[in-house]
Amino acid sequence: MKDKKVLRSFAMISQIGICMMVPVFLCGLIGYWLNGKLHSELCFPLLLVVGIGAAFRNVFLLTKSFYEKDMKKEHEEAAYIEQLKKYRDTHPEEDFSDVMEGKKKRYPDPKGPARR
């Protein structure tokens, strides 16, 4: 399982590098070519800025999709913990020491993250 995460992370780093370099170099190359054709010094810096913007947009979208699954799981676990806290607050008469010591499991929702 850890090897899979390492390979996935390595692939992600490679993709980020490619997604950043291709738009910058492509727009820089087109800007340099247009400078030669139009005899203007404005095309290269303008297209270079466009390429850098496109690179950051690509990286943002790529990392967002990569971490979306992990973020969803974190939000579910946080909501479950909040539900447990509310349950504890609404049932103050119950003693939860046996649950905390690991002797017994007691959950308000049988489908919680700890039961998967």
The domains of the chain are located at 2-115
Place of tokens 């690509």: 58
pLDDT bracket for residue 73 (50, 70, 90): confident
Instruction: Kindly report, residue by residue over 19-50, the tens digit of the pLDDT.
Output: 999 999 999 999 999 999 998 889 999 999 99
Report the alpha-carbon angle 37-39-41, nearest 5.
Answer: 115
* CA dist., res. 92 & res. 99, Å (int): 14
